[in-house]
């Protein structure tokens, strides 16, 4: 089966005054149709940069992004237009992602107008439909973003992304700016529209409980590289990379008697400008061996893969 989205050795280096920031380093991933892939990982590990490359807001330094098997870098104009209408994004901040000077109806209609010729009546119908999908009244179209709460604004942002009936949605921290009770509404809404429209999601979140609840697959990113990937259930039940183990141990539970693991807090974050040689996690890893300090481990295993020399991979690779 062709993947909905495939990243192949995707790399992004930013040049700055002080040197090169290796934001994304050779990331390869497959996202199957109608599944939800979650990207998790430390702040600054390159998650948003990956999203931006998929959305063509940044140009990859090297590597490829394939949409249904086709490399977006070699697409002709017509194919690119088709790509851009099938891939939509919802960003973290419902406050700044909506243009404050435009009415909600105009905001939602904008991407449609960019791609299709539609009469006013047809546009109004689309706007009313998607507002209904996200549980907002049709008269919301006449109001301005500031007249809505954060949760409502995020619904509007989702409605806008839905207006063109996309197939892939990139959700970069879609609920982290929202209140807990509203979060549940938005997550339930996203799950419903995924089923209804057969959508594929790539979601970025730092909330591991949310990721466990919401995604079918998960990729753990550390300093621009994948450290572990696989079906969510397997990765959460039997994390194989020490970084994933540390992440799971660090989740603060809503329980005052839960003691946060000290191990989870260890280590300085390495800089993406100066990533350590070998395994990028080795300076923080309690199990680091000599080889970890010199030679980068390769992501191995399927469907549950980890980039680590520790068994079972070390054993399997030795054979």
Ligand X SMILES: Nc1ncnc2c1ncn2[C@@H]1O[C@H](COP(=O)(O)OP(=O)(O)OP(=O)(O)O)[C@@H](O)[C@H]1O
Residues that bind another protein (CB under 8 A): 16-18, 40-45, 48, 92-93, 95, 149-152, 173, 176-185, 187-188, 191, 206-210, 212-214, 236, 246-248, 250-258, 260, 264-265, 268-271, 273-274
CB 307 within 8 A of CB 298: yes
Interface stretch with ligand X, choices 37-45, 118-126, 189-197, 310-318 (CB under 6 A): 37-45
- List binders of ligand X among 51-90 (CB under 6 A): none
48 contributes a contact to Mg ion by CB under 5 A = yes
With binding defined as CB under 6 A, does residue 46 bind ligand X? yes
Site for Mg ion in 110-139 (CB under 5 A): none
- What is the C-alpha to C-alpha distance for residues 309 and 294, in angstroms, rounded to an integer? 12
Q: Are 174 and 92 in contact (CB under 8 A)?
A: yes
Distance, in Å, from the CA atom of 41 to the CA atom of 35, rounded to the nearest integer, reads 20
Is residue 43 a contact residue for ligand X (CB under 6 A)?
yes
C-alpha–C-alpha distance, residues 104 and 141, integer Å: 5
Using CA of residue 158, residue 161, residue 164, residue 167, what is the dihedral sign? negative
Q: What are the residues facing 8 on neighbouring strands? A: 64
Residue 212: HSE in the Cβ half-sphere, 13 Å Cα cutoff: 14
With respect to another protein, which residue has the nearer C-beta, 79 or 265?
265
| Packed helices 180-197 and 150-162: angle between N→C axes, nearest 10 degrees | 10
Closest CB to ligand X among residues 23, 159 = 23
Written as one string, the DSSP assignment of 218-281 is EEEEETTEEEEEEEHHHHHHS--SHHHHHHHHHPPPS-TTPPPPSGGG-SPPPPTTSPPSSSTT
Closest CB 69 distance from another protein, rounded Å: 31
Q: Is 97 among the residues that bind Mg ion (CB under 5 A)?
A: no
Closest CA to 221 of 7, 5, 19, 2: 7
Q: Which of these segments, 47-55, 220-228, 285-293, 309-317, binds Mg ion (CB under 5 A)?
A: 47-55
23 interacts with ligand X by CB under 6 A: yes
Measure the CA–CA gap between 49 and 59, rounded to whole angstroms.
Answer: 10
Q: Is 205 in the site for Mg ion (CB under 5 A)?
A: no
* Stretch 153-192: interaction string toward ligand X, x if CB under 6 A: --------------------------x-------------
The residues, ordered by sequence, that sit 6+ positions from 249 with a Cβ below 8 Å of its Cβ are 260, 261, 263, 264
Question: Total residues contacting ligand X (rule CB under 6 A)?
Answer: 14
Say which entry of Mg ion, another protein, ligand X, none residue 217 contacts (CB below 5 to 8 A, set by partner kind).
none
Using the minimum distance from each CB to ligand X, give the nearer residue, 57 or 289.
57
Q: Measured from the CB atom, is 43 or 59 closer to ligand X?
A: 43
CA dist., res. 131 & res. 198, Å (int): 18
The residue (of 43 and 119) whose beta carbon lies closer to ligand X is: 43
Min separation Cβ 205 and ligand X, Å: 9
Burial 73-96 (b: 16+ CB within 10 A, else e): eeeeeeeeeebbbbbbbbbbebee
In the bound state with ligand X, the residue whose beta carbon lies nearer, of 126 and 215, is 215
Which of 261, 264, 262, 299 shows the shortest CA–CA distance to 285?
A: 264
Residue choice 33, 150, 231, 276 for contact with ligand X (CB under 6 A): 150
CB of 126 to Mg ion, least distance (A): 30
Q: Which residues contribute to the site for Mg ion (CB under 5 A)?
A: 48
Q: Which residues contribute to the site for ligand X (CB under 6 A)?
A: 14, 16, 21, 23, 43-49, 150, 179, 272
């Amino acid at each position: 089966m062709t993947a909905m989205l495939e990243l192949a050795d995707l790399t992004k280096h930013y040049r700055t005054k002080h040197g090169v920031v290796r934001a994304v380093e050779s990331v390869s991933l497959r996202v199957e149709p109608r599944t939800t892939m979650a990207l998790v990982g430390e702040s600054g590990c390159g998650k948003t940069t990956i999203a931006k490359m998929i959305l063509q807001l940044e140009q990859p330094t090297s590597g490829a992004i394939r949409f249904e098997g086709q490399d977006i870098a070699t697409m002709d104009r017509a194919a690119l237009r088709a790509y851009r209408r099938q891939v939509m994004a919802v960003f973290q901040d419902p406050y700044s992602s909506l243009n404050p000077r435009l009415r909600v109806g105009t905001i939602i209609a904008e991407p449609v107008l960019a791609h299709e010729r539609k009469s006013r009546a047809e546009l109004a119908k689309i706007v009313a439909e998607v507002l209904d999908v996200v549980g907002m009244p049709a008269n919301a179209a006449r109001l301005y973003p500031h007249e809505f709460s954060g949760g409502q604004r995020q619904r509007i942002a989702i409605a806008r992304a839905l207006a063109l009936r996309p197939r892939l949605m990139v959700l970069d921290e879609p609920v982290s700016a929202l209140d807990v009770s509203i979060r549940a509404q938005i997550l339930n809404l996203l799950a419903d529209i995924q089923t209804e429209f057969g959508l594929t999601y790539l979601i970025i979140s730092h909330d591991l409980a949310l990721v466990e609840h919401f995604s079918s697959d998960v990729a753990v990113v550390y300093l621009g590289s994948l450290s572990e990937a696989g079906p969510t259930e397997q990765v959460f039940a039997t994390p194989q990379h020490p970084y994933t183990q540390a992440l799971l141990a660090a989740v603060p539970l809503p329980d005052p008697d839960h003691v946060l693991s000290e191990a989870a807090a260890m280590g300085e974050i390495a800089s993406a400008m100066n990533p350590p040689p070998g395994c990028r996690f080795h300076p923080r890893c309690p199990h680091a061996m000599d080889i970890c300090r010199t030679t980068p481990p390769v992501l191995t295993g399927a469907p549950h893969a980890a980039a680590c020399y520790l068994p079972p991979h070390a054993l399997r690779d030795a054979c």
